[in-house]
Structure 1
Amino acid sequence: MTISSLAITPLVSLIAGILILVMPRLLNYIVAIYLIVIGLVGLFPHLAG
């Protein structure tokens, strides 16, 4: 079973939004992790799939 990044993106966004509402300080970590992951996928596209 393969899951494309198109299916994962809305789910990750929903979970991140709920966590930010519950714990606003978590926003810094979520943004930092997101930027690191997007940067790594941009530098090494073969790792994404």
Structure 2
Amino acid sequence: MNIHIAAQPLIALIAGILILIVPRLLNYVVAIYLIIVGLIGLLPLLR
């Protein structure tokens, strides 16, 4: 039996739980997410 857990839903679940526990964490989670998505979007242009 092969169990496969996708990383993105797991990260979203952990982030959601942490935001419920520490609401101030939301600012950091959103900022880090936007920076990562921006860098991934710019990566093909930099090559």
Normalised-by-shorter TM-score class: 0.7 to 0.9
Partner of 1:44: 43
- CA shift for structure 1 position 8: 1.3
Q: How many residues align?
A: 39
TM-score scaled by length of structure 2: 0.76
RCO higher in 1 or 2 (8 Å CA, sep ≥ 6)? Answer: 2
TM-score scaled by length of structure 1: 0.73
Is 1:17–2:16 an aligned residue pair? yes
- RMSD value over aligned CA atoms? 0.9
Is 1:35–2:27 an aligned residue pair? no
User: For structure 1, which runs of at least 5 residues remain unmatched after alignment?
Assistant: 1-6
Measured in 2, the distance between the counterparts of 1:42 and 1:8 equals 19
Q: What secondary structure does 1:44 align onto?
A: helix
User: For structure 2, which runs of at least 5 residues remain unmatched after alignment?
Assistant: 1-5
Fraction of identical pairs, as percent: 72
